[in-house]
């Protein structure tokens, strides 16, 4: 589904991403981990054509993302609050996203149903603009909006950050269920090694812009990651 080839992003003299090859097959769930500044967000921005690579190419279903909008119809993403339209209420925002994908009010309501526990009574019917929500609740709105169209590919940057422990567990279960139900391909960056290994069947470690490990998740993966990041 996603193919990255000889992808380099450099800012002045600093190379922040340098990936020779990365292939993500349909239905894979890939967790991207790495310390602050490793290049995770920059990679995601290039996958979504928000940042142009210095050299190299990203293709989605064999078409360079920079050459077409086709991938936008089957890709849902939430990287940060900049993805939100913060002068709308969550309901208005979900309707806006739903309209883009031809969803009826009933469809939207049905698709938000699995988010009921995650929303914890704090998102819908609050008569508040998104900008007035807490960071964690803004994140919940962004994740729900990204998943609303049941996209073939879902890209989330640090979805567990800013969420309280109950919400993190609810989100983890929700992502697993979305994958099981719809076979969504997922790319998820996280600093939470435990959650990301529970959600993803493959883990990629990025260090200073380079892929240093790429492994299938097994029972020993969490321990291996903890050992890797223990300095
Ligand atoms: N527009 C920019 N101009 C210059 N440097 C940038 C720019 N955007 C990102 N960088 C640099 O690229 C490097 C990678 O940043 P990036 O945000 O991709 O890392 P990250 O792995 O997502 O980090 P974190 O875990 O802290 O969110 C950092 O050193 C950052 O300062």
State in Å: Cα 66 to ligand 1 middle: 21
Ligand 1 mean position to 121 CA, how many Å? 34
With a 6 Å cutoff on the Cβ, whether 190 touches ligand 1 is no
CA pair distance 192, 123, nearest whole angstrom: 24
Contact between residue 206 and residue 36 where contact means Cβ atoms under 8 Å apart = no
Strands 2-11, 55-60: pairing is: antiparallel
137: Cβ below 6 Å to ligand 1?
no
On whether the pTM is more than 0.95, the answer is yes
For residue 118, the surrounding DSSP H or E stretch is helix 116-119
**Domains of the chain with CATH codes:** 25-40+73-229 (3.40.50.300)
Of 86, 81, 49, 85, give the one whose Cα is nearest residue 64.
49
Q: Give the number of the atom of ligand 1 that is nearest the alpha carbon of residue 206.
A: 21
- CA dist 195 and 204 (Å) reads 14
Residue 65, pLDDT score: 97
CA 45 to centroid of ligand 1, rounded, Å: 11
Rg over CA atoms, the chain: 17
196 within ligand 1 shell (Cβ under 6 A): no
Q: What pLDDT does 31 receive? A: 98
For residue 208, the SS3 value is: coil
Residue 114: partners with Cβ closer than 8 Å, 6 or more residues away = 174, 177, 178
ipTM of model over 0.95 = yes
Confidence at residue 231, expressed as pLDDT on a 0 to 100 scale: 80
Least Cα distance to 103 among 59, 145, 43, 71 occurs for 145
Q: Are strands 210-216 and 202-207 parallel, antiparallel or unpaired?
A: antiparallel
**Cα–Cα nearest to 175, from 195, 161, 203, 149:** 195
From 10, 15, 16, give the residue whose CB has the most ligand 1 atoms within 8 Å, as the site to mutate: 16
**DSSP string covering 32-60:** EE--TTSSHHHHHHHHTTSS--SEEEEEE
Nearest Cα residue to 120 out of 162, 85, 164: 164
The Å distance, Cα 114 to ligand 1 centre, comes to 33
Please report, in tens digits, the pLDDT of each residue of the chain (231 residues total): 999 999 999 999 899 999 999 999 999 999 999 999 999 999 999 999 999 999 999 999 999 999 999 999 999 999 999 999 999 999 999 999 999 999 999 999 999 999 999 999 999 999 999 999 999 999 999 999 999 999 999 999 999 999 999 999 999 999 999 999 999 999 999 999 999 999 999 999 999 999 999 999 999 999 999 999 998
């Amino acid at each position: 589904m996603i193919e990255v080839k000889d992808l380099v992003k450099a800012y002045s003299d600093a190379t922040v991403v340098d990936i020779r090859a990365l292939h993500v097959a349909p239905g894979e769930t890939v967790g991207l981990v790495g310390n602050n500044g490793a290049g995770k967000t920059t990679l995601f921005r290039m996958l979504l054509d928000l940042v142009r690579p210095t050299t190299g190419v990203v293709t989605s279903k064999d078409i360079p993302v920079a050459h077409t909008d086709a991938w936008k119809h089957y890709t849902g993403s939430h990287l940060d609050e900049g993805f939100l339209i913060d002068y709308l209420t969550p309901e208005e925002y979900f309707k806006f996203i739903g309209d883009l994908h031809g969803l009826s009010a009933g469809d939207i309501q049905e698709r938000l149903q699995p988010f009921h526990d995650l929303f914890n009574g704090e998102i819908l019917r609050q008569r508040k603009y998104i900008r007035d929500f807490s960071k964690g609740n803004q994140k919940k709105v962004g994740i729900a909006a990204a998943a609303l169209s049941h996209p073939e590919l879902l890209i989330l940057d640090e979805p567990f950050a800013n969420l309280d422990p109950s919400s993190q567990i609810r989100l983890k279960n929700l992502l697993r269920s979305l994958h099981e139900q719809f076979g969504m391909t997922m790319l998820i960056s996280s600093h939470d090694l435990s959650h990301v290994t529970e959600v993803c069947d493959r883990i990629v470690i990025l260090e200073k812009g380079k892929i240093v490990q790429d492994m299938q998740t097994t029972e020993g993966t969490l321990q291996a990651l903890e050992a890797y990041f223990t300095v």
